């Protein structure tokens, strides 16, 4: 028998319960992977907010003193 006449091995299919478990695991892993990105973005926003509040307070105190 030559290579071209051999039949391929039957495909194994996952049960719906197993497929759900794989999707659930992938979703949890992707969520955990996004945590550092979100944390970094929040730190950047917090830094910019602190600068804006500082500028506002400087102007407020300047106006209040006059």
Examine the pLDDT at 61 and tell me if it is beyond 70.
yes
Q: Please measure the distance between the N-terminal and C-terminal CA atoms of the chain and give it in whole angstroms.
A: 100
pLDDT digits (tens, 9 = 90+) for 1-22: 456 667 666 667 778 889 899 9
This prediction has a pTM of 0.41
28-54 pLDDT tens trace: 988 888 888 878 777 777 778 888 999
CA distance 35 to 28: 11
């Amino acid at each position: 028998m030559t290579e071209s006449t051999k039949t391929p091995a039957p495909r194994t299919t996952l049960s719906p319960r197993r497929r759900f478990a794989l999707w659930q695991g992938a979703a949890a892993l992707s969520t955990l992977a996004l945590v550092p990105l979100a944390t970094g973005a929040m730190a950047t926003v917090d830094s910019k907010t602190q600068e804006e509040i500082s500028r506002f307070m400087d102007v407020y105190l300047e106006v209040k003193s006059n």
